[in-house]
Structure formats: structure tokens, C-alpha cells
Amino acid sequence: MTGEIDEEILPLVDLIRAHPLMTTFASCCGHNRKPASIDLVVKGLVGLRQFVNKLNSVDLLISDPTVFFDAGLIWHKEVSTACNFERMPEWIMLSLSIEYSDIESLKKITEAWKSS
């Protein structure tokens, strides 16, 4: 990613990027008007499985009914944050949306990601 990352979501983005089978391309904290979002790629089915397992673990750890995760595939080459299929043929592009009630919830998500 070439631009600045919102400081509220930067710790979570850093944790995702620290994983050897995951990296991010774009993110936004939502600025209290909409859900946070992270566009990322995972390497192959192993990376996808690890990402899903991580989200499930985080959801169980935080046990917060105001937090909702929604992950979807970014499959079209014309999406601005899409991965280069030729350069990264084994990678799967995803968009993660995180609905949360306040900045403390986002901090809990980050801590749960770190400890899971």
C-alpha cells in the first residue's frame, strides 16, 4: 500500500501483514460513519483456511454482539485494489468488512487477532 493507513486500523493491518501467507492492499477505519475495511490477499487455500480460522478465533475471543465480520472475494481485475493475477497467481484476493460500535471494539479485535 502506498498511502497512509488510518491510525485506528494500523495495528490490525500490521498484524495481518506479519503473517507469511497474508498481506494487505488497502484499508480504512470507517471514520465512525461506516464499517472498517481491509482489502487483502492470502496465499492459496492454506492461507485462506488460516485467515478464516483466525477470524473465527477472533470472533470467539471478543464475544461482542456489536462486532460483525464479512469477508468476500475480490475476483475482478478491474477492482482498483485487486491483486495482479499474473504476478501473484496463487493468491486469493479478499475484502474484509468489520462493523464495530466504537474504537475500543476495534482495539479488542486487534488484541484478539494478536493472541489467537
Q: Which pLDDT tens digit goes with each residue over 16-29?
A: 999 999 999 889 99
Give the per-residue pLDDT at 79. Answer: 61
* Number of structural domains found in the chain: 1
Give the per-residue pLDDT at 2. Answer: 46
Q: Please check whether residue 44 lies inside any domain of the structure.
A: yes
> Which of 45 and 90 is assigned the larger pLDDT?
45
Q: Please check whether residue 2 lies inside any domain of the structure.
A: no
Q: Which pLDDT tens digit goes with each residue over 37-84?
A: 999 999 999 999 999 999 999 999 999 999 999 999 886 666 655 566
Contacts of 12 (CB under 8 A, 6+ apart): 38, 106, 109, 110, 113
Q: What does the pLDDT average to over 90-115? A: 94
At residue 1 the predicted structure's pLDDT band, cuts being 50, 70 and 90, is very low
d(C-alpha 8, C-alpha 10), whole Å: 6
Give the per-residue pLDDT at 83. Answer: 62
Range of the domain at 89: 10-115
Give the per-residue pLDDT at 3. Answer: 66
Q: Please check whether residue 104 lies inside any domain of the structure.
A: yes
DSSP the chain: --S---TTTHHHHHHHHHSTTEEEEEEE--TTTS-EEEEEEEEHHHHHHHHHHHHHHHHHHH--TT-EEEEEE---TTSTT---TTT-TTEEEEEEEEE-SSHHHHHHHHHHHHH-
Torsion sign, CA atoms 104, 73, 16, 5 = negative
d(C-alpha 52, C-alpha 59), whole Å: 11
- The set of cell numbers assigned to 98 is 468489520
- Domain containing 31 — which CATH number? 3.30.1360.100
Q: Please check whether residue 4 lies inside any domain of the structure.
A: no
Q: Please check whether residue 97 lies inside any domain of the structure.
A: yes
